[in-house]
Amino acid sequence: MAKQLSGSRRALATLLALAALGAVWEVRRLAAADAAPTRAGGATMDENLKVATFAGGCFWCMEPPFDKVDGVTATTSGYTGGHTVNPTYEQVSSGTTGHAESLQVTYDPARVSYEKLLEVYWHNIDPLARDRQFCDAGEQYRSAIFYHDEEQKRLAEASRQALEQSGRFKQPIVTQIVPAGPFYPAEDYHQDYYKKNPIRYKFYRYSCGRDQRLQELWGAP
């Protein structure tokens, strides 16, 4: 009887996990279905500002930590690192365009350093996961730092090396550091999703296990 109960509990746990994963994807599907496929517009950037580009899985979840940073003037969810021109969310989600869901961070280097942005980035991803982040699997959810100049490349590589030498992780860090290419802003409904749809966003984030895994990797925030 005890063995039967144990097996039943395992089966129930598996069903609950599958249901939660299905609910996660339903949130993203509903977000796409509810919105018209319009693109976020690009404003002319002040010459004193700089841009950093990061991929860390779902871009909805990458916006909040950077929006909180003093000196960050804008964040834009979008797609980069692929071969299709001006891809749609549906195309990127299919995993056929080579793009990663990414975040373009516009910042004032007089107020915040690129090193600080790297620190925020690392503490909001799982650098040990290859071609996935949390519950989202596929090349489109890979973690990557897209550098815009040699200084960003140098700082990104130095930060990864320091993390590797820290002894924090036994597994290898698989986050890519690659040159930045064309960045395509995502559809309007993806921008500031956590502000526009806070309930759906919080449900998705929790169901995806993002904060639970981040605490395992980095400790309590």
What is d(CA 127, CA 169) in angstroms, rounded to the nearest whole number? 10
Residue 142's pLDDT is what?
98
Q: Give residue 171's domain range.
A: 2-218
Q: What is the mean pLDDT of each run of 10 residues along the chain (221 residues)?
A: 43 47 56 52 74 98 98 98 98 98 98 98 98 98 98 98 97 98 98 98 97 96 80
3-state secondary structure of 95: coil
**What does the pLDDT read at residue 31?**
59
Closest by CA to 78, choosing from 191, 161, 180, is: 191
* pLDDT recorded at residue 40: 56
Question: Which one-letter amino acid corresponds to residue 218?
Answer: W
Per-residue confidence (pLDDT) for residue 221, from 0 to 100: 80
How many other β-carbons are positioned within 10 Å of the β-carbon of residue 182?
12
Give the pLDDT of residue 184.
Answer: 98
Residues 6+ apart with CB under 8 A from 123: 65, 214, 218, 221
- Active-site residues: which are they? 58
Q: CB–CB of 108/48 below 8 Å?
A: yes
Q: Per the structure, how many domains does the chain have?
A: 1
CATH of the domain at 37: 3.30.1060.10
pLDDT at 6: 45
Measured CA to CA, the distance from residue 12 to residue 113 in angstroms comes to 48
Half-sphere exposure of 82 (CA within 13 A, CB side): 28
